[in-house]
Amino acid sequence: MEYQSILPIFTLDNDFHMKKESILVIGACGQIGSELLPELRRAHGAFRVVAADRLPPHNGPLKAGPYEQLDFLDCRALGAIIDRYDINQVYHLAAMLSVTGEKNPQQAWDLNMQSLLNVLDLAREKKLARVFWPSSIAVFGAHPPNHGCPQDTPHDPGTGYGISKTAGEHWCRYYHAKYGLDTRSLRYPGLISHRTLPGGGTTDYAVDIFHQAVTAKRYTCFLRPDTLLPMMYMPDAIRATVELMQAPLASLSARGSYNLAAMSFTPAELTTAIRRHLPDFQIDYAPDFRQSIANSWPGDIDDEAARQDWNWCHDYEIAATTRDMILHLSPNHKLAFNPSPLTDRIR
């Protein structure tokens, strides 16, 4: 299928300064990387954006520009790629996520920390202009406020993954304060996408449920029906990432990571939204170990700092997300109930 952009606002014509960047995306085959990469290539030119992952390239957009198979723990190989392509910006997306990480917290810590430190050190040594590294709502844990979880609140991460994200935020802040490295970060909520499958996170149900709804019309959810979690549709997440990286340095106040929000919902609320289009959809609940991870995360997030500092504004709420997911996963399906198509798109 031909790639269609989700970001009409960034073009080669209207954003001339972006053409001069030379960018490396580490973890390009993942859920976020495989959607961010085509946007960056469209904005900067395919040969100015190098994709890297430990996997071989498996789809057209990945092969549309330079691709390097790389283990991010191999610091020398990473440094050689930065030199060869004269890289000046890195998006370091590769990580072990929360559910996979809970099966081996020590390994999650080793991989997530060492890879970040490799990138930060190389960025400092080679005087890169900017580094993007994603954090997560997993940093908060059970004690910060569950509703309106603030930008600045003590972290209390309940998973090895969350501990590595909290430490990573501190390292980003440290490299900025000590070496002047321009590190930028977002605490992504659970991300929902129809283009890629999720990579082993606690919010994966919110993607799996759509695949099952359009095929089997039945889904068994690993979280309880009333589990409220912050979520975001992938086009918003990609746009937030690009907009943060374009924001003027002086406007940024959060040097660890920015809270980022769009919508919060429970599995029961998502089921209701899906049934507006697929009335026969059935759901069962069989909570497993992921319930305790979800319980340690906030229900909704206060992202006022992002909205103030770099004018963040999300587009998609639950109804527009649901409709778009079902349309894309089952293109021949005639939407059963569609009173006003994108009523909850904000813009």
Q: Which of 88, 151, 185, 203 binds ligand NAD (CB under 6 A)?
A: 203
Give a three-class secondary structure readout of 115-167: HHHHHHHHHHHCCCCEEECCEEHHHCECCCCCCCECCCCCCECCCHHHHHHHH
Residue 106, amino acid: Q
Q: Which of 65, 201, 230, 267 binds ligand NAD (CB under 6 A)?
A: 201
| Binding status of residue 88 toward ligand NAD by CB under 6 A | no
Of the candidates 42, 135, 127, 41, the residue with the CA atom closest to the CA atom of residue 89: 127
Which residue in the list 3, 85, 161, 285 is annotated as catalytic? 161
Q: Which of 23, 81, 87, 97 binds ligand NAD (CB under 6 A)?
A: 97
**Given the complex with ligand NAD, which of 64 and 94 has the nearer CB atom?**
94
Restricted to residues 320-339, the positions that interact with ligand NAD (CB under 6 A) are none
**Given the complex with ligand NAD, which of 185 and 278 has the nearer CB atom?**
185
Query: Residue 251 in 3-state DSSP?
Result: helix
What is the spatial distance between Cα 32 and Cα 139, in angstroms, rounded to a whole number? 19
Stretch that binds ligand NAD, among 27-35, 119-127, 241-249, 256-264 (CB under 6 A): 27-35
3 counts as catalytic: no
**What does the longest C-alpha to C-alpha distance in the chain come to?**
58
| Binding status of residue 158 toward ligand NAD by CB under 6 A | no
For residues 160 to 199, the per-residue mask of contacts with ligand NAD, x marking binding by CB under 6 A and - elsewhere, is ----------------------------x-xx------xx
Query: What is the distance of C-alpha 212 from the center of its chain?
Result: 22
| Binding status of residue 113 toward ligand NAD by CB under 6 A | no
| Buried/exposed 63-95: b ≥16 CB within 10 Å, e otherwise | ebbbbbebebeebeebbebbeebebbbbbbbbb
**Residue 17: CB minimum distance to ligand NAD, A:** 26
**Residue 141: CB minimum distance to ligand NAD, A:** 15
The HSE-up count of residue 217 (CA atoms within 13 Å, CB side) is 7
Q: Tokens 């559910």 appear where? A: 99
DSSP annotation of 55 reads S
Stretch that binds ligand NAD, among 1-9, 90-98, 271-279, 281-289 (CB under 6 A): 90-98
What is the spatial distance between Cα 24 and Cα 66, in angstroms, rounded to a whole number? 10
**Given the complex with ligand NAD, which of 191 and 252 has the nearer CB atom?**
191
| Site residue total, ligand NAD (CB under 6 A) | 26
Starting at the edge strand that comes first in sequence, how are the strands of the sheet with 258-259 ordered? 135-136, 186-188, 258-259
Query: Residue 50 in 3-state DSSP?
Result: strand
Stretch that binds ligand NAD, among 52-60, 294-302, 325-333, 339-347 (CB under 6 A): 52-60
Q: Which residues are catalytic?
A: 161
- Kindly list the residues in this chain that would bind ligand NAD in the complex (CB under 6 A): 27, 29-33, 53-55, 70-73, 93-95, 97, 134, 136, 188, 190-191, 198-199, 201, 203
